[in-house]
Structure 1
Amino acid sequence: MMNRRNLLKRLASLPVVGGLLGSSIPLQSLAKPGIQAKQSLFKELGIRPLINARGTMTFLSGSLMEPEVVAAINETSRDFANMHEVEDKVGERIAEMLECEAAMVTSGAACALTIGTAAAITGVDMEKIRQIPNLPGPQPEVIIQKKHRYVFDQAVRSAGVKLVEVETPKEMEEAINERTVMSLFFNGAVDWYGIEDSINHEDFVAISKRNNIPSFIDAAADVPPVENLFKYQKMGFDMVTFSGGKMIRGPQSAGLLFGRKDLIEAAKLNFSPHESPIGRSMKVNKEEIFGMYVALKHYLEKDHEKEWQEWQGRVDHIAAKVETVNGVKGETHIPKGRANVFPGLNIHWDQSKVKITPEEVVEALRKGEPSIETSAGDDELWIAVVTLQPEHVDIVARRIKEVLETAV
């Protein structure tokens, strides 16, 4: 049976392939002529596009990429490159921008959690890299606050570790032993659960450093503000991850892992394009790597104050429109936690005058034309404006008003 490497050698020797590679034909000219840049694939496949007024949810395709990111993806799709070189050189530039020792582009923040954990276990030991997540001997352990357990810690457990829950600095200190490979801090716990951390950032880092274990913070959704990209590494966390497809507006399937150089280098060994590590199935293509680089560069350079004012203007516009319905009131809402800190709109009404529930409004907007995704609580409708295109703002305002008016 012909293996993969022999097949590649055979293909390389075929006249057609060899002729193209040895000719002077520009690589760009190999693209098929006449392909239209814009195709109605949504229509062709029967997929209904929607207006996202719910936020950067992965199941709603995150955020829309900046035009500069799309241009970078298109430009770099025309040529081949050595993926190790792409990863290394893009990582070096990202590290410069984030003022850290090392960085890499991952296939989302969840991937960063897995290969970052793997790096803490294996270092550069190739035998361990081949064996993970089924290492012989006692199971590696990761310290986490009990209040920080969350659905995405499965990405950490995928590396073959046991999560050890602690509730106080004293418990954390006592839980660390020869099997402990890392400590994990879920930065969004205060937002998800409405609770305070039982161990604050500074104590968490100090205990980790005192016991010589790497600390990892998951801050996936925690920009804006832009300062957060620098804040946690300055606190002393050894590894930091952010999502690339939320407010940085890179490819949805991209993320950032950055921090201590030895750990990032070990994470690379646990990742594609290496052929056998745990991260092989999490590969990120070169176009996404370049796209993530451009997205981060654009995000760092943009006028964040101007963008905030634009978001607030959207909130004010929608509120003014829906408040023309008797009994309806709109209020700006800015989360007080660390994740998704940007202005949104909460709309509530007197249900004795407007006889419809917020969940019924959500369903009406979803089923209407165009389809609009929103969310709701028991007594109010929640509108995310940061994922709206400028031309969608008035559409959303008009449709909400129409739905509410039908219930008056």
Structure 2
Amino acid sequence: MKRRNVIKSLTMLPFAGSIVAKAATTYTPAVAPPAAKRDLFKELGVTPVINASVTMTFLSGSLMLPEVLEAINSTSHDFANMFELQDKVGAKIAEMLHCEAAMVTSGAACAMLLGTAACITGTDAEKIKMLPNLPGPRAEVIMQKSHRYLFDQAVSTTGAKIIEVDGAAEMAQAINNNTVMALFFNAAEKSSITHEDFLKVAKARNIPTFLDAAADVPPVENLFKFQKMGFDLVTFSGGKMIRGPQSAGLLFGRKDLITAARLNHSPHEAPIGRPMKVNKEEMFGMYAALKSYIERDHKKEWEDWLQRAKQIGGKLEALQTVKTKTVVDPGPANAFPSLFVTWDQSKIKITPKDVQTALKDGTPSIVTNSKGDSLVVGVVLLRPDQIDIVAGKVHSILQKASAV
């Protein structure tokens, strides 16, 4: 994940019923798990990892909150009609997000596929059945050339063809009778079209717009910002900073498009989204996670992250020539603080990349990042009991290298 070395201001942003105990309105950090009778990590030979990086799928996303685990465990003992459950959970999520409709998907990539499918098929049962092998010209999805990325394969999986454009004028010219959707990748490093102009061009030709904002909270306001701008469909990952089940995601926006997306999804038996089913526990868990995230004291959470960085930095700066600074990634993805650590490599004879490798290969395994001459230590995904562990391991590696 690309990170930018930009110091940002360290200030931060300023439904009836519940399936779980009342969600805490203050920040609830992840806690150390209770002692288990059976250690499945050990039994299977899987290495537990301390994530001092960012939310990455290959690192299993983030750690679920206690209220999410409670939601999963408390609903695992009974069956449910999945059509009814998606109806009820979707309605509550839409209420929380102040939008027309919503659904739980198997991650943001699934949401992209279902959103594209919805724009192609609508509620036409025959089209839904035939997708991705519809007769006639291929459906086309507009994207900025600078927004192309690995995950747009979810779009082409529906059979749609991606049309690259550069600038608003070229976008307008590219729209034709085969155009079904326009996709905006919110975390793209460069855009030739602003959000506003993108929406203006698409709406002038009545083309549905989709915004992929998978990793773009915090701030919490982003959950509401883009639909207010006018995007017809928006997706966020559920298993990143919202801290729901890793394989869950959110798709929300226009009611007619969400209805069509659901027809292309499980539990319907034959559509393109059937292999991407979401189980009932994930739906309950995603609801609980979103409710907790929206109600959280985000200012307190931010202050806690800054204190973590200060705590680790204070221990490391006890070593000669070591300097630390808290850096806030400008986002929109991963817009939270991390600790950048530098040292005089003529005195502490090890590079940041070598420290990164030593941490990863150590016990416990700790995943960090490096950027140029800096070791980058993520603090937002650490359990409280892991803060001193990370500080101690980095300190030990640097101290040993200073004695060489």
CA distance in 2, matches of 1:164, 1:137: 17
SS at match of 2:200: helix
Matched, 1:369 2:368: no
Q: Which whole-Å CA distance do the structure 2 matches of 1:130 and 1:38 have between them?
A: 47
Distance apart, 1:39 and its partner CA: 2.3
Deviation digits for residues 166-193 of structure 1 (CA, Å, limit 9, x no counterpart): 1111000000000000000000002xxx
Q: Once structures 1 and 2 are overlaid, which stretch shifts more, 50-59 or 92-101? A: 50-59
Matched, 1:200 2:194: yes
Which contiguous aligned blocks of 4+ residues in structure 1 show a shift greater than 2 angstroms? 36-39
CA distance in 2, matches of 1:146, 1:327: 44
Letter of the structure 2 residue corresponding to residue 156 of structure 1: V
Superposed displacement of residue 289, structure 1: 0.3
| C-alpha distance in structure 2 between counterparts of 1:326 and 1:152, whole Å | 44
Partner Cα separation in structure 2 for residue 82 and residue 49 of structure 1: 36
Q: Distance in 1 between matches of 2:183 and 2:118?
A: 13
Q: Percent of aligned positions with the same letter in both sequences?
A: 64
Aligned residue in 2 for 1:273: 267
- Partner of 1:45 in structure 2? 44
Distance 1:376 1:134 in 2: 45
- Alignment correspondent of 1:299: 293
Other-structure match for 1:251: 245
Structure scoring higher RCO (CA < 8 A, sep ≥ 6) equals 2
Partners of 1:254 and 1:167 lie apart in 2 by 33
Return the offset for 1:350: 1.3
Alignment equivalent of 1:321, drawn from 315, 326, 342: 315
Give the Cα separation in 2 of the matches to 1:252 and 1:243. Answer: 8
Per the alignment, residue 155 of structure 1 pairs with: 154
Q: Secondary structure at the match of 1:189?
A: coil
Query: What is the alpha-carbon distance in structure 2 between the residues aligned to residue 39 and residue 211 of structure 1?
Result: 59
Per-residue CA distance 1:210-235 (angstroms, 9 max, x = gap):
10110000000000000000000000
Structure 1, gaps ≥5 residues long = 1-35
**2:387 counterpart letter in structure 1:** V
Cα distance in structure 2, aligned partners of 1:50 and 1:174:
49
Q: CA deviation at 1:405?
A: 0.8
SS of the residue corresponding to residue 93 of structure 2 reads helix
Corresponding residue SS for 2:401: coil
Q: Distance in 2 between matches of 1:107 and 1:235?
A: 25
For residues 300 and 38 of structure 2, the distance between their equivalents in structure 1, rounded to whole angstroms, comes to: 33
Match of 2:170 in 1: 171
AA at the equivalent of 2:199: V
Distance 1:251 1:218 in 2: 19
Whichever of the two has the greater Rg, that structure is 1
What amino acid maps onto 1:74 in structure 2? N
Q: CA deviation at 1:134?
A: 1.1
| Separation in 1, partners of 2:58, 2:323 | 29
What's the counterpart of residue 6 of structure 1?
none
1:54 paired residue number? 53
Specify the alignment match of 1:21 in structure 2.
none
CA contact (8 A) 2:341 2:374 kept: yes
SS in 2 for 1:198: coil
What amino acid does structure 2 have at the position aligned with 1:88?
D
Q: Report the Cα offset of residue 38 of structure 1.
A: 5.0
SS at match of 1:406: helix
Cα shift readout 1:150-177 (whole Å, capped 9, x = no counterpart): 0110111111111111111100000000
Secondary structure of 1:257 counterpart: strand
Richer in helix (by share) = 1
Q: How far apart in 2 are the matches of 1:246 and 1:326?
A: 36
**Counterpart for residue 9 of structure 1:** none
Q: For residues 308-331 of structure 1, what are the alpha-carbon distances to aligned partners after superposition, in whole Å with 9 as ceiling and x for unaligned?
A: 000000011111111111111111
Helix, strand or coil at the partner of 1:42: helix
AA matched with 1:217: L
The residue correspondences of 1:13-162 to structure 2 (distance < 5 A) are 38-162=37-161
Moved more, 75-84 or 374-383: 374-383
Inter-CA distance 216–264: structure 2 relative to 1 (3 Å threshold): same
TM-score of the aligned structures, taking structure 1 as reference length: 0.89
Secondary structure at 2:325 match in 1: strand
Q: Which runs of structure 2 are paired with 1:174-185 in the superposition (5 Å)?
A: 174-185=173-184
Q: 2:252, 2:37 → 1: CA distance?
A: 36
1:16 alignment counterpart: none
CA distance in 2, matches of 1:325, 1:183: 52
Deviations 1:258-298 (A, max 9, x none): 00000000000000000100100000000000000000000
Q: TM-score, normalised by structure 2?
A: 0.90
- Aligned residues of 2:71 and 2:288 also touching (Cα < 8 A): yes
Task: Tell me the secondary structure at the aligned position of residue 344 of structure 1.
Answer: strand
CA contact (8 A) 2:227 2:234 kept: yes
Cα deviation for residue 37 of structure 1 reads: 6.7
Q: Number of aligned residue pairs: give it.
A: 368
Separation in structure 2 between the aligned mates of residue 39 and residue 251 of structure 1, nearest angstrom: 22
1:74 counterpart SS class? helix
Which one-letter code corresponds to 2:291 in the other structure? K
Which deviates further from its counterpart, 238-247 or 346-355?
346-355
Structure 1 distance, partners of 2:362, 2:163, is 47
Aligned partner of 2:15 in structure 1 is none
Within the candidate set 277, 284, 289, 1:283 is matched to 277
Distance apart, 1:384 and its partner CA? 1.0
Deviation for aligned residue 1:335: 1.1
Q: Which amino acid aligns with 1:55?
A: V
Cα distance in structure 1, aligned partners of 2:377 and 2:140: 41
